[in-house]
Amino acid sequence: MLKSTLNYMLFLLILSSLKIFGFYTTVPEVLRFSTLLSTTGWLILFFLLFTFFFREWGFGLYCVISIALFIDFLYFQNFGNLPSVKQLVLLPQVGKLGANIRYFTNFFSLLFVADLIPLGIFDRRRYLQLRTTDFSTPKGLFLTMILCSVFAIVPLVSEKLKPGQVFNRYGFFAYHIFDIATVFSKPERENYSVTHMNHEQPSSKKYWSIASNRNIIVVQLESFQNFLVNMRYNGQEVTPNLNKLVRNDSIYFNNYYQQTGIGNTADAEFVSLVSLHVPGDEVAYEKYADIDFYALPRILKNHGFHTVAMHGNVGWFWNRFKIYPHLGFEKFLSLEDFNQDEVFGMGLNDVSFFEQSVDVLKNYPEPFFSFLVTVSSHSPFVIPEQYRKLMLLPEDENTMFGNYLQAVHYADYALGIFVDRLKKAGLYERCILILYGDHAGLYPFNKESKERLSAIFEKEYTYKEAMNIPLIFHIPGCKINEIVSTVGGQIDFLRTVLNVIGIDDSGVVSFGRDLLNTEDGFVALRYHVPDGSFVDDERYFEISKDGILQNSLAVNYIEGTSLPYYECLDGFKAAVKQIETSKNMLETAEATLAKLR
Give just the sign of the alpha carbon dihedral 332, 333, 334, 336. positive
Using DSSP's 3-state secondary structure scheme, residue 471 falls into strand
Identify the three-state secondary structure at position 561: strand
Produce one character per residue of 178-188: b if its CB has 16 or more CB atoms within 10 Å, e if not: bbeebeeeeee
pLDDT, greater one: 149 or 372: 372
The string of pLDDT tens digits covering residues 172-221 is 888 888 888 777 766 555 554 444 444 445 557 899 999 999 999 999 99
265 is in an annotated binding site: yes
d(CA 442, CA 448): 9
Determine the pLDDT at residue 338: 95
Across the chain, how many H-helices and E-strands are there? 19, 18
SS3 at position 474: strand
Annotated ligand binding at 439? The verdict is yes
Q: Using 50, 70 and 90 to split pLDDT, how confident is the model at 89?
A: low
Query: Residue 58's pLDDT band (boundaries 50, 70, 90)?
Result: confident
Per-residue model confidence (pLDDT) at position 198 = 44
Listed ranges 19-33, 90-104, 351-365; the one with the highest mean pLDDT: 351-365
pLDDT value at position 404?
97
Q: Is the pLDDT of residue 295 over 70?
A: yes
- Please give the pLDDT value at position 195: 43
Residue 2 has pLDDT above 50, yes or no: no
User: pLDDT of 467-478, one tens digit each?
Assistant: 999 999 999 999
Q: Give mean pLDDT, residues 525-550.
A: 93
The SS3 assignment for 49 reads helix
**What are the residue ranges spanned by the domains of the chain?**
1-184, 216-512
Q: Measured in whole angstroms, how far is the alpha carbon of residue 307 from the centre of its chain?
A: 26
Task: Give the integer Cα–Cα distance in Å for 275 and 263.
Answer: 16
In order of 14, 47, 266, 338, 361, the CA distances from 307 in angstroms are 60, 60, 18, 18, 11
pLDDT digits over 499-517, tens only?
999 999 888 888 999 999 9
Overall pTM surpassing 0.85 (yes/no): yes
pLDDT at 27: 83
pLDDT (0 to 100) of residue 156: 61
- Tell me which CATH code domain 216-512 carries: 3.40.720.10
User: Predicted confidence band at 245 (pLDDT cuts at 50, 70, 90)?
Assistant: very high
pLDDT of residue 78: 75
Q: What is the pLDDT of residue 104?
A: 66
Q: Is 306 annotated as a binding-site member?
A: no
The answer on whether 378 is annotated among ligand-binding residues is yes
Can you tell me the distance from the alpha carbon of 488 to that of 374, in angstroms, rounded to the nearest whole number? 23
Contact 97, 313 (CB under 8 A): no
d(CA 575, CA 380): 31
At residue 138, the 3 state secondary structure works out as: coil
Supply the mean pLDDT for the chain: 87
Query: Is a pLDDT exceeding 60 seen at residue 114?
Result: yes
Distance CA 450, CA 445 (A): 7
- Measured CA angle at 485 (ends 470, 203), to 5 deg: 105
- Residue 509 backbone dihedrals phi, psi, to 5 degrees: -95, 110
What's the mean pLDDT in 75-82? 79
35 is in an annotated binding site: no
Q: Which residues are catalytic, by number?
A: 265
pLDDT at 5 over 70: no
Instruction: Label the pairing between strands 368-373 and 553-556.
Output: unpaired
Residue 497 and residue 514: Cα distance in Å, rounded?
A: 8
Range with the lowest mean pLDDT among 156-165, 306-315, 513-522?
Answer: 156-165
49-54: average pLDDT: 72
Q: From 358, 288, 295, select the one nearest 330 (Cα to Cα).
A: 295
Tell me the average pLDDT across 365-369. 97
Q: What is the pLDDT of residue 548?
A: 85
Rg of the chain taking only CA atoms, in angstroms: 26
Q: Looking at 194-270, which runs of residues are DSSP E strands?
A: 215-221, 232-233, 236-237, 250-257
Longest CA span, the chain: 87
Q: Which is nearest to 265 in space by CA: 96, 406, 39?
A: 96
Question: 70-74, 106-110, 139-143: which range is least confident on average?
Answer: 139-143
User: How far, in Å, CA of 561 to CA of 161, rounded?
Assistant: 30
pLDDT of residue 560: 92
